[in-house]
Structure 1
């Protein structure tokens, strides 16, 4: 005897719970969640659309392209670098804390760190970071012209440090490469490479934070004592 299975009648779309409205911030939040759980290579329009239960095409109303999305992700991450400072001391001490926070953010996301070398962020957290650095430079007596240029060098130095350290941290061959380099320098022929032989130990001296902080001091001292050359436009305006 045939039995008749009971089927539920199709559910009207009107009865389904309404999806949350799609927003730019919602897209960025979804992208950040995917970044933390799966890595940057999984942060695609298709993957974000899947997480938000929508179509990829609908995302482009709020995000221009993947590059724009990555820039927004970077800016969201930089919120951790712009919180109130906790160290007391000189303006240099506080500036170093800002840059160390910035480097720490990038160190945790090697793929974002590498992209930052060619990105031009302009979001509110990046602007807050820039404002904080410029305020500290002004407090330290840095002339405006020099401050406008050295802030770029400081961020580039911090970014490059994060890229190198985070990339090597995740490399399976970095430790072997370091061992080979140490062996090459400590056993070098002093008659051929006298300066390397003399400074062999110094080349590897100093902990990471100490060398990083020293590099910041080098850039600051150099900017304070080196007048910035006028640009061609500034030369023209002065005539």
Structure 2
């Protein structure tokens, strides 16, 4: 049975652990992110966390119900980092583009954590604030509520899908990742125009783009589509002859 959860202040250790860490939810999350970076999801365990923190592994359960609860906290942490330093401009297209790029980057700063948590719903404060902010941007832009919700889901799911995809690539061993990229150069640039005319005509561009994420392009296309939709909605709302 999971141990009873208590608020962060009462459960904080009065003295540092052997590693000099004063335990808190945040300290455990930061340590978990380091473990994920070095060991992947298989390395995230109460035993490893305890060793890294210099505390008994059972101490984890004073702060989280278990590793899955910690995973949700990690997801919420990455969402929160996406908004650090962000300020709205009042231009909905620019604001959503900036949030998408910042969110994608926050996940890719911790690719193993991105793979682990991108598909989860945390239900925590940062996620709730993000949902409310994005919906607010869309509603203030003039999208009806039903459309705003659909666009919110598409916007977030697109970013998370690319975060998981790009995170999985970054989490590969360096030699495997480089081998995959080398195939674009060694294989696709050698295909003859007689059999693969379109690849032959664009091989240089394919190689160039293989070294970066397609997310910025996909995000721009999505937002341009949303802008075209808004223009159609505005036109339909205008009185005839206006």
The alignment's TM-score, normalised by the length of structure 1, stands at 0.69
Residue 135 to residue 87, structure 1, CA distance change in 2 (3 Å)? closer
Matched residue, 1:30: 28
Residue 163 to residue 181, structure 1, CA distance change in 2 (3 Å)? same
Matched residue, 2:19: none
Matched residue, 1:110: 111
> Is the contact made by 1:28 and 1:69 (CA closer than 8 Å) also made in structure 2?
no
The alignment's TM-score, normalised by the length of structure 2, stands at 0.68
Q: CA deviation at 1:124?
A: 0.6
Q: Distance in 1 between matches of 2:13 and 2:224?
A: 56
Matched residue, 2:239: none
Q: Distance in 1 between matches of 2:185 and 2:148?
A: 38
Q: Which runs of 5+ in 2 are unaligned?
A: 1-11, 16-22, 231-242
> Is the contact made by 2:184 and 2:207 (CA closer than 8 Å) also made in structure 1?
no
Q: Secondary structure at the match of 1:192?
A: coil
Q: Secondary structure at the match of 1:199?
A: helix
Q: Distance in 2 between matches of 1:193 and 1:226?
A: 36
Residue 82 to residue 28, structure 1, CA distance change in 2 (3 Å)? same
Query: What are the residue-to-residue correspondences of 1:172-183 with 2, within 5 Å?
Result: 172-183=175-186
> Is the contact made by 2:104 and 2:163 (CA closer than 8 Å) also made in structure 1?
yes
Aligned length, in residue pairs = 205
Q: Distance in 1 between matches of 2:223 and 2:142?
A: 11
Q: Which runs of 5+ in 1 are unaligned?
A: 1-17, 228-239
Residue 64 to residue 142, structure 1, CA distance change in 2 (3 Å)? same
> Is the contact made by 2:82 and 2:103 (CA closer than 8 Å) also made in structure 1?
yes
Query: What are the residue-to-residue correspondences of 1:74-153 with 2, within 5 Å?
Result: 74-86=75-87, 88=89, 90-153=91-154
Matched residue, 2:224: 221
Q: CA deviation at 1:216?
A: 1.2
Matched residue, 1:198: 201
Bigger-Rg structure (1/2): 1
After superposition, the C-alpha distances for 1:77-122 in whole angstroms (9 at most, x for unaligned) are 3322123425757321221111122111111111111122431221
Q: CA deviation at 1:125?
A: 0.7
